[in-house]
Structure 1
């Protein structure tokens, strides 16, 4: 069985760190959970793997208009719901058949299961905000197994 790796990033606000590019090597897919800041971020990530992105509340640049507030992704038999702000989640993810919910916005990394659904916020990989960490994440899907790992990125 194949293991799938998904690089997960959010809140870059126009800053893409070299460490993120290293961590996302060998990813099958990259998901950006909004507040991209510049289309250049997406272009750089696409050199590693296909990118699915959502528009965040700070994404005002017209080059980012093609992105929507939510996206649905299927990989390795798992259904993933992506949005920027988890507080705007307006559907029942369990009855909708989702296995994973990815969000950003808060700049606070979170990785937990609730009712057998993985909730992941990779935190912010962009400019430091307050005393919150600089972080990104990866999701690994291997058959029925799903796990996520948060990465502290300081450079």
Structure 2
């Protein structure tokens, strides 16, 4: 199953997102949505699961949960906005995700794309899809999910 991953749009829908995500089966938005219209636009591509970020304090985006766990493509996804990625060997840092049976932890907030394995879990931050900030190039992600397998790619916009 191919899913699109977007974060930190901050109310800006980049027109390059639609053609890249066309054909995905689901889209995850990892917070700092910035406008309910972003979710409406993404929903024209595929069903969307979203969480609110630290800047989603009012409007329809404030109604999303802080954490969402869902099953997609035979994998359990833990979706939230802010994550402190545990260091290698930090079993205590992994515990909250393992308790949810997660195969992948999808997050945003930092605006920096990140894709690494820790303790058998995939930690995936697609970077920020909004307007360029902090000298960071906008990006989104794709996850290919199969039972027991999570493969990710970061795509620069």
Give TM-score, length-normalised by structure 2.
0.89
Corresponding residue number in structure 1 for 2:97:
93
Corresponding residue number in structure 2 for 1:21:
18
Residues 107 and 124 in structure 2, CA contact (< 8 A), matched pair in contact too: yes
Residues 75 and 147 in structure 2, CA contact (< 8 A), matched pair in contact too: no
1:116 alignment partner, one of 120, 133, 138: 120
Gaps of 5+ in 1: none
Corresponding residue number in structure 2 for 1:48:
45
Query: Structure 1's 95 and 61: CA in aligned 2 closer, same or farther, altered over 3 A?
Result: closer
CA-based RMSD of the aligned residues comes to 1.7
Q: Deviations over 1:68-116 (max 9, x none)?
A: 1110110111100011011398952224311000000000000111112
Q: Deviations over 1:40-63 (max 9, x none)?
A: 000000001100000001112322
Q: Which has the higher helix share?
A: 2
Instruction: Please state whether the residue corresponding to 2:63 is helix, strand or coil.
Output: coil
Corresponding residue number in structure 2 for 1:30:
27
Gaps of 5+ in 2: 86-92
Equivalent residues, number: 150
1:142 is displaced (CA, Å) by: 2.9
Corresponding residue number in structure 2 for 1:75:
72
Aligned counterparts of 1:90 and 1:146: Cα–Cα separation in 2:
17
Residue 10 in structure 1 maps to residue 7 in structure 2:
yes
Aligned counterparts of 1:44 and 1:57: Cα–Cα separation in 2:
21
Corresponding residue number in structure 2 for 1:140:
144
Residues 74-83 or 54-63, more deviating: 54-63
